[in-house]
Each structure stands twice: as structure tokens, then as C-alpha cells.
Structure 1
Amino acid sequence: MNRPDKVEADKPGAGVDLLPERYVSTQQVAEALGVSVTTIKRWVDQGILPAQRTVGGHRKLPLGEILRLVRQGVLPQPNLSVLLGTTVETCSSDTQLLARQIRQAALRQDGALLRTLIRGAYTQGLSMAQLADEVIVPLMHAVGHGWESGTLDVMQEHRITQEVAAVLYELRELLRPPSDRYRPRAIGGAPEHDHYLLPTLLAQLTLFDCGWNAINLGPHTPVSAFQAAVEELRPRLVWLSATHLVDAESFLAEFNPQARAWQRQGIVIVVGGQALTQDIRNRLVYTSYGDGFQQLAALVQSLEPHPGLPRRGRPPQDRP
């Protein structure tokens, strides 16, 4: 199928900004988690919670990390409304209903509502992997079907894809780890001549949401670029998102020798995408194959249950 996400996205941050600030104060976090400011400061000073200091010496904590740690059950039961404010609309926890609402907004080309729904779903507790599998992917399939059936023209298809990509880039800024200390590293992208933007971006966001430091090489990435990234960055994991292969035989001949070398170095190779048919997978060198982002999340969580946390401890489940 001619997928609709080939076009490049607008610059991150374009359009109506409904996303909360990326950094929050110790007072805000304390109120949200139901603990004292002193406790939050102690966790920061002990290296348990990540933070940056302002010029005036005040601690600022990355909101994306707080949301991730809450989701993983590392932090106490929160009142996230303190952190998220009132500008993010309440979204349905029913992903099927949410997917229908987002699809309707997209087909009406209501970009503001589309962005509000996607961002609100994440900030209110939906994991990035679930958001990808149950909301974004079905939306893009519907858009692709609309293009194929003639109910959507190319202009409409591109506008919807631009809106989705733009909001995902904004989420990436929220999710991006403030530091790679204690974090496993991953690199990945789409193969050469595969210009689909969204699948490999969603893989990066899923890894960010799982606490990994993920470097997305993007679409149309030759094997030589993967190898250069492995040599420079020394990742624990390499992902390949293949929606389109121009010449499968040439790709296999080039990719497999490098993949064998990566495996000898202990690197986990995760692959996915509609271009990887059963026949190609039978001849492809890889560690794990997945047909969804929740499978990717489950794999990396089994490799690193609590990445980003120092080994000496973490916040207790109960209030101190």
C-alpha cells in the first residue's frame, strides 16, 4: 500500500501550543505526588530524580520523566492535574473511542482538535506504545485507505500527515531524556529508499517512553550509516523499521553481514514493518521481530525494567 506518511513534517512546535512546559518546579512535583518539597529535593540531590538547576540555583524537573516514572509505578500515586494544568482537555481512556474521535478530527482536517486529543491522551496516562498501536497506526491506515479509494486527495492526505508528525515531534521534546546517564542507548531508522517518516519516529518515542536514550537516524538510511552510528554511539539495541524495500536481495546482502557483527558485540537487533515479509525474515539476521510498538516496549522493558534510575535506589511506593 502506498502509505501516506512520506512527506516531511513541519518544524516542531508549529500550530496551537497546548502542551505543558517541559520542566516543572519541585513545589509542583511535590503537590502532584503528595509528598513534601524536602522529599523531592532529597530525591534530586541523591540522584534518584533527574533535575537541572536554574541560574538562581532552583531545581527544575523534566515533566516527561515524571510522567514516565509515574506510569511505571516508581513514584507515588499522583495528582497530575497539578503538573498538566487546565489547558489539556480531558480525553477518553477508551482507546477505541479515542481512535474514532481522532480519526474524525483528522478527516475533518481539524488540526487543533487532532493535536489536543493526541497530546492529551499521552499526558493523561496512555503509553506511547499503546498510543501508537491503537490510535496513530489505525488513523494512518484510514488516511491511506481514503487516498486509495479517492475520498481523500493528496493535499488532504499530506495535511493530515503533517499534523500528526508535528504533534509527535512535540511529544518527542517532552519525552526526550534530559541526560543519558544510567540509560541504555538505541539507534535505528528506516532502510535506504524507504521514505516513510512516522514508523521509525514512533519507535523512537516508544523507546523514550521506556526510559531509553534513542537516536532516530530517520527514513532513507543506508546500512553504512547504521554501521557508522554503531561504531560511534555503541548502542545496546538497533531497530529497523522497514515499510518499503526497493531491492530486498541487495538489502539482505548488505545488512546481514553488519547485523552478524553487531550480534557478536552483544547488540540486540529489533526489526519490524510491512516490507519484512515472512520470506525476507527467514533470511534476515535479527534478534527480535515485532508487528507492533507494544511488543517493542515489552522487549526493552524486559532488558531494562527501570532505566534511568541509579542502582542505589528509587522513591518508595508509600509516602515517607
Structure 2
Amino acid sequence: MRKAMPSSPSSPYLNTTQAAQALGVSVSTVKRWVDEGVLPAHRTAGGHRKLLRAEVLALARQGEVPQGDWAALTGLPFKGPPADLGTAALELAKALLHGQGAEVRGIIGGLYAAGVSVEALADRVIAPALAVVGHDWENGKIDIWQEHRGTQLCAGALFELRKDLELRAEKNRPVAVGAAPAGDPYLLPTLLAQYVLLDAGWEAVNLGPNTPLGSLEQAVRQLRPRLLWLSVSYLEDEASFLHAYQALYRVAEGEGIAVAVGGRALAPALRSDMPYTTYGDRLEHLAAFARTLHPRPKRPKWGRPRRM
């Protein structure tokens, strides 16, 4: 394969040579996929095919393609996925503890590029890594600023994935709205829920941590989502939360909105007094439920492409 001119990761488009190099296949294979509708593309005024970078990455994540230059698709350092997600979680924890932002972005972005779902990233890599960081803080091995730094590094790495998720978003996709309740300061649980829903094809509006449920109720009335999610990692007052939540649920139920709840603060005794559509203690549960409400069309099967 002839050497392609490098494409800036900030550019949303690739030509067929750049796409072939990134995927590890021939240019003729890329052109065939375009002609067969497997890989969306449009033609320039000069008749050249231009491919959306996000669509090429989506194909790489979903298909059995040879590993090419996937760093060219994400703009992130990519050294290939580790042997298993448990190893990845340990590597991520080490990078978070040492404040290695580039390494954090490389691990999260590389796994995403390699086809790991956002929910698997959240449940099996990011959550265990943050648990290690939290354990070290609780035992006095690190200071709170280091724990906060780790959270921000994860959030930053996730933010870099959003461009890809948004670029290949469907038109007229359903809306989901969510937050963490007042007094819950945790940023990542509801942010990860948002990214899981984006990956599942939703327009996910995350109102963030420490959101009064009365304010969330107003958002539901105005945005009229199809799905409402609530991430509850910490509660100051269970009785006050339950009162506000039941009022919120009545509004959602009246509008025909599905309600998904989760989080470590929702103990079984509390949940027994909470009406909801679905509960999950992992984001894989939220992803599965969201896909039952809004199934996305699957890509055509094309078989394993031949290596160059």
C-alpha cells in the first residue's frame, strides 16, 4: 500500500488511502465497502470519495478488520489492547495515580478504538481503576487532590470520545435526560451513563451531579425525553430524596417516559419504596435497556477482509 499523507485528527474526513491505512486493508477493499454501502462516503466535486473519520472508526470497532493505524482515527496513542480488561483496569489505575494524562487517554481511547463498548469500559475498566484510586485515598496513601485529578483525567479522556459519538449520530434520535441528585457530588457515574446512551444512539442530556430533582422535573417537562436516568452514588437524606423522587416519577409516568435508576446509594430497602421502569447496578444494564427502547440498525456482514 502506498503511503498516505497524514490526516490531522482534528479533520472529520479521510480519503480512501488514509482509511485503508488506518484499517489495515487495501484501498480497493475500502472502495468496495463504499460501493456496497458498508462504509458511508460522499464524493467531492472532483469525484473523490471522502469518508467520515467517525464512520471509519465505527467500522473498525464493529468489524473483524486487521489492525492498522488506529491512532490516526482517534488522535490518541494506541499500543493495542491489553490481554484482558482486568489488566487494562490496573494499567489505568497506575496512570491515574501518577497523573499520566496521555497514558489515560491512550488506554481509554485505544480500548474504544479496539471495539470495547462504552459500558464495558465503564464497568470493567474505569470503575475498577477508580476503586483502586479511592482505596488508596481512604488508606492515606494519596491526598484528595490526587483522587480529584484522577477523576478529571478520566472525564477528559471521555470527552475526547464524544466527537466521534456525535459525528455519527442519527437524525431524529430519541432524547434521554439524566443527572445525579442534590447532595451527590460524583461527576463520573452520570457522565458515563450519558456516554453509554450516546453510544447506544440516543441524544443524551446530562445535567450533571448535585441536581435538585425539582429542577430535573422541569427539564423533563420541557425536553420531553423518552428516557430519564438517575445516578445515585450518595444521599444526604433518604426521606427527602424519596419524596422528591416520587414526585418526579409521577411526572415521568404521566408523560410515558421510561425511568432508569442505579447507583450504590440505592440500597434494597430504599428501592422497595421507589417506582421505576428499570434498575441496574452496572451500566451494561442501562445500555441493554436503552437498546430495547431504541434498537440501532446493524451493519451488513462482509466477512474478514484480506490482509495486505
Normalised by the size of structure 2, how large is the TM-score?
0.81
Aligned-residue offset at 1:258: 2.4
Aligned-residue offset at 1:78: 3.1
Is residue 81 from structure 1 mapped to residue 68 from structure 2 by the alignment?
A: yes
Is residue 291 from structure 1 mapped to residue 281 from structure 2 by the alignment?
A: yes
Q: How does 1:67-78 map to 2 (within 5 A)?
A: 67-68=57-58, 71=61, 77-78=64-65
Is residue 37 from structure 1 mapped to residue 31 from structure 2 by the alignment?
A: yes
- Equivalent residues of 1:21, 1:63 under 8 A apart: no
Map of 1:242 onto structure 2: 232
Map of 1:110 onto structure 2: 100
Is residue 317 from structure 1 mapped to residue 306 from structure 2 by the alignment?
A: no
Question: Equivalents in 2 of 1:228, 1:180: separation in Å?
Answer: 26
The root-mean-square deviation of aligned C-alpha atoms, in Å, is 3.1
Q: How does 1:116-265 map to 2 (within 5 A)?
A: 116-265=106-255
Q: Secondary structure at the match of 2:208?
A: strand
1:185-239 Cα distance to aligned partner (Å, 9 max, x none): 2111111121210000000111111222211111111223222222232211110
Normalised by the size of structure 1, how large is the TM-score?
0.78
- Equivalent residues of 1:65, 1:175 under 8 A apart: no
Map of 1:16 onto structure 2: none
Q: How does 1:56-71 map to 2 (within 5 A)?
A: 61-68=51-58, 71=61
Question: Equivalents in 2 of 1:228, 1:58: separation in Å?
Answer: 48
Q: Quick one: structure 1 residues 62 and 83, their matched pair in 2 at CA, closer, same or farther if it must change by over 3 Å?
A: farther
Q: Larger relative contact order (C-alpha < 8 A, sep ≥ 6)?
A: 1
Aligned-residue offset at 1:172: 2.2
The answer for unaligned runs of 5 or more in structure 1 is: 1-18
Question: Equivalents in 1 of 2:283, 2:188: separation in Å?
Answer: 12
Aligned-residue offset at 1:121: 1.2
Question: Equivalents in 1 of 2:229, 2:196: separation in Å?
Answer: 12
Question: Equivalents in 2 of 1:188, 1:25: separation in Å?
Answer: 34
Aligned-residue offset at 1:126: 1.1
Aligned-residue offset at 1:69: 5.7
Q: Secondary structure at the match of 1:218?
A: coil
Aligned-residue offset at 1:242: 0.7
- Equivalent residues of 2:217, 2:251 under 8 A apart: no
- Equivalent residues of 2:89, 2:125 under 8 A apart: yes
- Equivalent residues of 1:115, 1:167 under 8 A apart: yes
- Equivalent residues of 2:214, 2:248 under 8 A apart: no
Q: Quick one: structure 1 residues 283 and 57, their matched pair in 2 at CA, closer, same or farther if it must change by over 3 Å?
A: farther
Residue identity matched to 1:227:
E
- Equivalent residues of 1:92, 1:98 under 8 A apart: yes
Work out the percentage of aligned pairs sharing the same amino acid.
40
Number of equivalences:
288
